[in-house]
Structure 1
Amino acid sequence: MWHKLVEPVGLLYGQMARDAVARGFARPLMDGPAAFTHVRLIEGTVTSPLMPLADVPKGWEAELHRLSAPTSHGMVPPGPQVMGILNVTPDSFSNGGQHFQAEEAIKAGLAMVEVGCGVLDIGGESTRPGSSPVTPEQEWARVAPVLAGLRARAPQATLSIDTRHSLVMARALSAGAAVVNDVTALRHDPAALPLLAAQNCGVVLMHMRGTPQTMERYAVYDDVACEVVRELGQRVQVALQAGIARERLMVDPGFGFAKTAAQNVVLLRRCLLLANLGCRVVFALSRKRMLGEMTGVARAEDRDAASMAASLPAMAFGAPLLRVHDVPAMVQGMRVWQAICRD
């Protein structure tokens, strides 16, 4: 199914986009505020020259339609959303230990909601390169009081559980989580697929090869952007075949997971290929090492400006989730982008 991909190029926004679509020069991108005027057609390993939409040969209409169709909502609020990172771990690469105590994590989550965070992503196991795994019971012991506290004190908040373990998924959903965010795209735990098929929650499928302990050895690609999209597409198909409805699915290209710094840059540059999957897109670039290599900023906690700059290209998708540590800054950046590009 993913042998043929379309890479949209030449974006317009707001009124210019609407005028170009009305005149037949452009197509909307994922039913959002952007429209594209040109494309590159990718069939297997062969990529066409850049061409206007009028020159696209017959036989590509289904792929073009998929790029323009409304995306799945993922069971989270509509429109672009900031997804706040709440790591309840002692060893996260950025803020390990900062929110390890439940009450501190709850306070941090409430502060994020107050400034406009659309989704709180709560995790009890670090997945940084080379991190040490914890048992599902240990992970649940970390996140359970945080979920309970946030559900009680911010009942309007959309809560996400960042886990690869079905035990934690099941308990978190029972405790009020509305989204499961799995860095393994439901490959790690065989019980995860049937469990989530029987639920009514959002599901984030992230691209990664190997495990957090082994992924760096698998960062070998001929075309990183196309391969990531195709491999994510395979996971989307597996989820659909297991009974998880498309409208519940979201996709994350997995920046920094089984990818070198150079590959991450290419993936970000060609991120619009993700529109081929027809799912809401999650961008999780916050404070990552690739940003340090691009900017020369060594400390992860000093990379929030870079995180915002790297996250904003996802706004072209119309309703992305921007997963960050610094929620107030990202909310401001998102609102400025909307003011510039929406009308």
Structure 2
Amino acid sequence: MIAAKPRPPAVTGSAGRPVLPALLSKPYPAVMGVLNVTPDSFSDGGQFAAPERALAQARRMIAEGADIIDIGAESTRPYGSEPVSAEEELKRLQPVLADVVALGVPVSIDSMKSAVVAWALDQGAAIANDVWGLQRDSGMAGLVGERGAPIIVMHNREHADPAIDIMQDIAAFFAKSLDIAAKGGISSDRIVLDPGIGFGKTPEQSMTALARLGELQSFGLPLLVGASRKRFISTVTPSEPDQRLGGSIAAHLLAAQNGARIIRAHDVAETVQALRVAAAIRECQ
């Protein structure tokens, strides 16, 4: 008889506790601070490409209350991004990732490439964040399952189609991703679902996904929302990415009200304050 291979222990944070339960135990959503070490991200491309600036930004976001630092080295903006190789991603990450991990806050690696995620987990990253929801790199699910890491599964499409029911599309995508996850050995208690605001959606569909976010609770898994500075905000009030703080907070407060347990944001201090004040007000009801 061949002995069953033991499941690896759950990835833990700096305090030794499993990452997801610790993040989800708060009375308000955890905040994931965005750290792009890219030259071309839609909102802050190039600002933190230098390692010292990236590290300073990570420190700033942690001081402002970030519960997670989400570091990415390839722009995945929904329009006009240029794909890069795994080698280029690693070249951008190598000077900074270990130093960010050493700051003591859980780090998620924002990559759709299993080779990059494997290297980042080796360096101490605690969470994988796949903007193609395990459906782009066939090796991702097996890697994440083997390592026992939590995974953020995001909905995406190659192109927006205004004719579809976006909530049906999101639900079908997640069902497929969860099947892939199960086959890869990823247990459901390590999965977070992200509707992918702005990805493969018209602005109207992004707003629909936010308005109907509660429907996705039927999967029984934590939800993450990242509406920060997204283009749909400018269709309501014309604005550039760095002028969308008010719209970002409005979207994130509604997302929290509709069940989001993690909020991904560029403007950490303002987002943390808004979420905590909203939670305090609800406690007075």
TM-score where L is the length of structure 1? 0.73
Number of the residue aligned with 1:185: 133
| Alpha-carbon displacement from aligned partner over 1:141-185 (angstroms, at most 9, x marks no partner) | 112222111123x12x01000000111100000101000000001
**2:232 counterpart (277, 282, 290):** 290
Work out whether 1:145 is the aligned partner of 2:95: yes
Question: Structure 1 147/166 Cα, relative in aligned 2: closer, same or farther at 3 Å?
Answer: same
Number of the residue aligned with 1:281: 223
Alpha-carbon shift at residue 318 of structure 1 (Å): 5.4
CA distance in 2, matches of 1:160, 1:303: 24
CA distance in 2, matches of 1:222, 1:151: 41
Number of the residue aligned with 2:11: none
Residues 282, 321 of structure 1: 8 Å contact kept = yes
Work out whether 1:308 is the aligned partner of 2:254: no
Work out whether 1:196 is the aligned partner of 2:144: yes
| Alpha-carbon displacement from aligned partner over 1:296-324 (angstroms, at most 9, x marks no partner) | 21x10110111011011222355611101
CA distance in 1, matches of 2:162, 2:114: 29
Equivalences for 1:325-340 in 2 at 5 Å? 325-340=266-281
Work out whether 1:164 is the aligned partner of 2:106: no
Work out whether 1:246 is the aligned partner of 2:195: no
Q: Specify the code of the residue in structure 2 equivalent to 1:101.
A: A
Q: Which runs of 5+ in 1 are unaligned?
A: 1-71
SS of the equivalent of 1:131 reads coil
| Alpha-carbon displacement from aligned partner over 1:11-37 (angstroms, at most 9, x marks no partner) | xxxxxxxxxxxxxxxxxxxxxxxxxxx
Equivalences for 1:100-249 in 2 at 5 Å? 100-128=49-77, 129-152=79-102, 154-155=103-104, 157-210=105-158, 215-216=159-160, 219-249=161-191
Residues 73, 280 of structure 1: 8 Å contact kept = no
Residues 43, 242 of structure 2: 8 Å contact kept = yes
CA distance in 1, matches of 2:205, 2:135: 23
Residues 284, 323 of structure 1: 8 Å contact kept = yes
SS of the equivalent of 1:181 reads strand
CA distance in 1, matches of 2:32, 2:54: 15
Matched length? 263
Q: Which runs of 5+ in 2 are unaligned?
A: 1-17
Mean Cα displacement is larger for which, 167-176 or 74-83?
74-83
Alpha-carbon shift at residue 342 of structure 1 (Å): 3.2
SS of the equivalent of 1:145 reads coil
CA distance in 2, matches of 1:266, 1:141: 38
Residues 282, 322 of structure 1: 8 Å contact kept = yes
CA distance in 2, matches of 1:243, 1:342: 39
Alpha-carbon shift at residue 193 of structure 1 (Å): 1.3
CA distance in 2, matches of 1:292, 1:189: 32
Work out whether 1:86 is the aligned partner of 2:28: no
Q: Specify the code of the residue in structure 2 equivalent to 1:142.
A: R
Number of the residue aligned with 2:198: 256
CA distance in 2, matches of 1:119, 1:151: 10
Q: Specify the code of the residue in structure 2 equivalent to 1:268.
A: L
Q: Specify the code of the residue in structure 1 equivalent to 2:131.
A: V
CA distance in 1, matches of 2:58, 2:228: 17
Number of the residue aligned with 2:214: 272
Question: Structure 1 200/88 Cα, relative in aligned 2: closer, same or farther at 3 Å?
Answer: same
Question: Structure 1 180/318 Cα, relative in aligned 2: closer, same or farther at 3 Å?
Answer: same
Q: Specify the code of the residue in structure 1 equivalent to 2:72.
A: G
CA distance in 2, matches of 1:230, 1:77: 27
SS of the equivalent of 1:187 reads coil
Residues 75, 202 of structure 1: 8 Å contact kept = no
Residues 76, 119 of structure 1: 8 Å contact kept = no
CA distance in 2, matches of 1:167, 1:205: 17
CA RMSD for the aligned pairs?
1.7
| Alpha-carbon displacement from aligned partner over 1:216-251 (angstroms, at most 9, x marks no partner) | 4xx244321232123212212221232101010001
TM-score where L is the length of structure 2? 0.88
Question: Structure 1 188/222 Cα, relative in aligned 2: closer, same or farther at 3 Å?
Answer: closer
Number of the residue aligned with 2:23: 77
